[in-house]
Amino acid sequence: MRLNSYLLGSRCFDLLKKLRKLKRFDWTGQLRWPLLSILVGVIAGLGAILFEETLRWTLTHFLHLPTAFLEPARGSAPEQVSSLASVRSLLFLLIPTLGGLASGLLVFTIAPEAEGHGTDAMIEAFHRREGYIRKRIPLIKILASSITIGSGGSAGKEGPIAQIGAGFGSFLASVLRLKARDRRILVLAGASGGIGAIFHAPLGAALFAPEVLYKDTEFEFEAILPCIVSAIIASSIFDQYYGRQALFFPGTVDFHLIELIPYALFGLVCAAVGFVYIKVFYGSRDFFFKRLQIPKIVRPAVGGFLVGLIALLTPQILDGGYGWIQAAMEGKIFWGTMWLLVFMKILATSCTISSGGSGGVFAPSVFIGAMLGGGFGFLGHFLAPAWVIHPAAFVVVGIGGFFAGIAKAPISSIIMACEMCGNYTLLAPLMLVSAISYIFLGKTSLYENQAVSRLASPAHIGEFARGVLEELQVEKAIIKRPLTIIPENMPFPELVKIVTTSQDYHFPVVDKKGKMKGIISINDIREYILEDNIHGLIVAKDVATPNVVRVFLHESLQEAMDKMALINVDELPVVSEDRPDTIIGLITKRDIISYYYDQIERSG
């Protein structure tokens, strides 16, 4: 099976080489996106396998064997879960520290973009870098994240695999010389493929990448179909290698109608804890790690040491913690311990990633949400068993509901939670908790590079600017300022004197009745200024450009911009429709841009 995977990867790279030689290859046909999405999905799936294998090796040799620390397996007895939670080792201080140091050296000397959680880097590449991701990033991210997580760092797989898949999408777009818009779509398709594969959640991942770009409930809808195709292919390859199964096994879960009331309260708890999580996460970066008077390379080692200190008290916070989530679903962890693990995981994740360590925030958020749900559910069942009838179900709901709010991705979080647990029974409470968590967290997000909406994204500024400018009229944007009007018979020496002492760039020329006959720019004057022998013969109308292109009051700002672009000027005279020869004022590109941004700020 492994040999087949490697052969498939080799054939894909051979295909890439052939495509690169086809400089006139027509990528405008109907099969363009299916073919590109399939190719991205294949590489994302293989990349996910490579990352998973590397991570398993580092976890085994860096953490499990030296410290005897293991996570509980599915169906472990309660005594065994308690025994595993009691494992302590002084190596908890050393191993995460060395892992942080190794990760810092690797990242900050070769590829600083691989610092932190990779999903945010993918979002930034989409919005502000036209989808460009350097070719070295995927490999560095695999190594750095494997070292960080494998040495016990509190980070997840989603960030690294998102950047790995997105990096190949960007590379493919560059090879085929695709436009920036197409490159962005392939970046999202690559991220969806990788995330869908490694979390066994193809549909949720296909929606996650287009949704997580924005804080508002918007999608990058052009990318959804390519993301779906990529996620299907990548997940199929990954499942063929490891087997098709859910990430968690919650057993028989259900909910009663009356439980929607405590679920609504739980949504508020998710929002409150999510707010604390985000503030601690970025606060530790801005007010602690950035202020340390040490090189950036060393900061992840400090973060690793702090994680080790936390692990001496609660070793469950080390690495991803999926085994502990499964134990929580099975009701084998005390609800008080789960509440403690929520806040210890927040601290550990902040120390790992905010210090510059390489990893994702999805898995830690899943852990926090699961423990938060378990703590709430089992405590609620203890206090009010008639209201909280199925406490274990709150663990599943916490996985999706918590992340929906902090990531501003409610739709994909709901679906991913169901896919990872292989169960859609709790869809209704998941939707309720996710909606409440999302609404009450407002614009607060774990991903700081998210744009508020498509309208605010630099990736769409051109198309939206045109759409907005077509709705705005010239009369609203024109700024009333004094005009320097030039009579058409003004002698040239007097004209030069006025022009050279004025702050204006264009000067309307009018006849005795005040009707506009032309316009003079500073460049027009330069053509005659060196001709001393004809100065006495020239008047203003000889210098002026006749047949002036003008803008009408009720025309749109986009029409004004188009006229300026047509004749390559930055300013045009404004007139009314009923008096086209009487100048009202001048409108500039700067006036239009200032008015545009003023309207955007008011609407936002």
In a domain, 434, yes or no: yes
Q: Specify whether 494 is located in the same domain as 559.
A: yes
- pLDDT of res. 1: 44
Q: Specify whether 394 is located in the same domain as 531.
A: no
Q: Specify whether 321 is located in the same domain as 394.
A: yes
- CA–CA dist 603, 597 (Å, integer): 10
How open is the CA angle 357-360-366, to the nearest 5 degrees?
A: 130
- pLDDT of res. 95: 95
- CA–CA dist 449, 559 (Å, integer): 33
Q: Specify whether 380 is located in the same domain as 436.
A: yes
CATH number at residue 57: 1.10.3080.10
In a domain, 137, yes or no: yes
Positions of the chain with pLDDT lower than 70, given as ranges: 1-30, 113-114, 116, 455, 461-467, 530-535, 601, 603-604
Domain count, the chain: 2
- Determine the structural domain holding residue 577 and report its residue range: 470-603
The 3-class secondary structure across 33-85, one letter per residue, is: HHHHHHHHHHHHHHHHHHHHHHHHHHHHHHHHHHHCCCCCCCCCCHHHHHHHH
- DSSP 8-class letter at 513: T
Last residue of a domain, one of 431, 460, 489: 460
Q: Specify whether 412 is located in the same domain as 499.
A: no
CB 189 within 8 Å of CB 173: no
Region of residue 130 (left: phi > 0; alpha: psi -120 to 50; beta: else): left
Beta bridge partners of 575: 552, 583
Kindly report, residue by residue over 339-397, the tens digit of the pLDDT: 999 999 999 999 999 998 888 888 999 999 999 999 999 999 999 999 999 999 999 99
Question: What strands, in cross-sheet order, belong to the sheet with 516-521?
Answer: 486-487, 506-510, 516-521
How open is the CA angle 127-128-129, to the nearest 5 degrees?
A: 110
Q: In this structure, what are the phi and psi dihedrals at residue 588, rounded to the nearest 5 degrees?
A: -115, 165
- CA–CA dist 189, 561 (Å, integer): 35
- pLDDT of res. 535: 65
The candidate with the shortest Cα–Cα distance to 506, out of 535, 485, 478, is 485
Last residue of a domain, one of 460, 480, 497: 460
- CA–CA dist 289, 88 (Å, integer): 27
CATH number at residue 577: 3.10.580.10
In a domain, 376, yes or no: yes
Q: Specify whether 193 is located in the same domain as 224.
A: yes
Q: Specify whether 478 is located in the same domain as 423.
A: no
- pLDDT of res. 603: 63
- pLDDT of res. 12: 53
Q: Specify whether 550 is located in the same domain as 433.
A: no
CB 70 within 8 Å of CB 158: no
Q: Specify whether 454 is located in the same domain as 474.
A: no
How open is the CA angle 399-400-401, to the nearest 5 degrees?
A: 100
Last residue of a domain, one of 394, 427, 460: 460
In Å, how far are 40, 174, 202, 604 from 229, measured between CA atoms?
9, 20, 9, 34
Q: Specify whether 491 is located in the same domain as 566.
A: yes
| Token pair belonging to 103 | 């990760």
User: How close are the terminal C-alpha atoms of the chain, in Å?
Assistant: 53
Q: Specify whether 540 is located in the same domain as 395.
A: no
- pLDDT of res. 7: 47
Neighbour count for residue 275 (Cβ, 10 Å): 16
Kindly report, residue by residue over 98-152, the tens digit of the pLDDT: 999 999 898 888 877 667 677 888 888 888 888 888 888 888 888 888 999 999 9
